[in-house]
Structure 1
Amino acid sequence: MTIATLIDRSMPHVTFSATTGESTIDLASRELGDYVLFIYPRTGRPDRPEPAEWSAVPGAKGCTAESCEFRDLIGGFRALNFSVFGLSSQDTEYQREAAARLHLPYPLLSDPDFTLADELGLGTFVFHGVRLYSRTTLVVRGGRIAQAHLDIADPKEHPHQLLDHLKHGAEHTVER
């Protein structure tokens, strides 16, 4: 897959369990409107120390910080008529704990089978024998991918950069 192949591609009809009241969310549903889907490897838990080598994996560290920045900026995204969703391969129960602890006002979606990765050719990696998503953000407008952001170097700053980018009306962007 090349990044350019994502732009203007329709979101596939894939349905995921969510941490909010919806039982499932179909990312191709027109009812979702425009949205930002940030995809991350995994969130940590305070009661489970992360392995030291986790920090050495490019793009792995920073999932909690990224989630909290999207939380803190949600009003700006909503002002631009964008919903926000987070997605990882972690199960819904695990993600419910993170969503409650971090006070997230948007759903976290669970894709333990890597359905979206397989449908769109999104990046994954293996850490300690576990397959995880590579950090990616997709901006979806009218059911089509308008922007794709990969290899996000600073997950804490990325939501700020993305919001600024959207405020200034950038369309059909590929970032690497």
Structure 2
Amino acid sequence: MTDLSALPANLPGPLDDGDCDHLPGARVPSVPLPTTAGNWVDLAGLPGRTVLYVYPRTGRPDEPLPGGWDLIPGARGCTPQSCAFRDHHAELQAAGARVFGLSTQDTAYQREAAGRLHLPFPLLSDAELRFAAALRLPTFEVEGHTLLRRVTLMLREGVVEHVFYPVFPPDRNAADVLAWLAAHPA
């Protein structure tokens, strides 16, 4: 099986295609999303700063990755990205930001990943793509599934304050967010 915690050396990086250019300054849509903590979160109504890292899908060690997964620019790296946000979680909180991960996987699938990876923050499920459609997040298709392209949004009081896109390499994203927060204190 594939080691999900490691990034292949020859992983193709995504290009900035402009698909997130509309996001800075956008109002976050009011779309309550189920969480791995067993509750619902409406990102539009959260006070303060929120880091929302959007990722395609978390793999499982007992299942093969979709065919050609490593060849899709920006697809691989959800586990390393989530683990980096886990490892920097206390620093992100100290910088005044809460953290959520978001994918189209259902909450039960995400709950397994959150437990296995020991994530100290909830994952949000947008299985019906309602949030993604309302915010016009970029997507791609794999094996009949619509997945979200990797993007990290800095939200403040229900507005997109900053966008990290494309995100590459994904395991460096949490450190990049911390550096941005240090340069832009609340």
- Find the aligned partners of 1:129 and 1:11 in 2 and give their Cα distance: 28
Which protein has the bigger strand share? 1
Q: Which residue of 1 aligns with 2:82?
A: 67
- Find the aligned partners of 2:118 and 2:36 in 1 and give their Cα distance: 12
Query: Which of 43, 54, 59 is residue 27 of structure 1 equivalent to?
Result: 43
- Find the aligned partners of 1:2 and 1:94 in 2 and give their Cα distance: 28
Q: Is the 8 A contact 2:44 2:157 kept in 1?
A: no
Q: Which residue of 1 aligns with 2:71?
A: 56
**Structure 1: segments with no counterpart, 5+ residues:** 172-176
1:52, CA displacement in angstroms? Answer: 4.9
Query: How does the TM-score come out when normalised to structure 1?
Result: 0.91
1:4, CA displacement in angstroms? Answer: 3.7
Q: Which residue of 2 aligns with 1:85?
A: 100
- Find the aligned partners of 1:2 and 1:133 in 2 and give their Cα distance: 12
Question: What's the RMSD between the two structures over aligned residues?
Answer: 1.6
Q: Is the 8 A contact 2:92 2:178 kept in 1?
A: yes
Query: How does the TM-score come out when normalised to structure 2?
Result: 0.86
**Alpha-carbon distance change, 4 to 125 in structure 1, aligned in 2, over 3 angstroms:** closer
- Find the aligned partners of 1:121 and 1:49 in 2 and give their Cα distance: 29
Identical amino acids, percent of aligned pairs? 43
**Alpha-carbon distance change, 126 to 164 in structure 1, aligned in 2, over 3 angstroms:** same
Alignment of 1:1-176 (within 5 A): 3-21=20-38, 23-31=39-47, 33-169=48-184
Q: Is the 8 A contact 2:66 2:143 kept in 1?
A: no
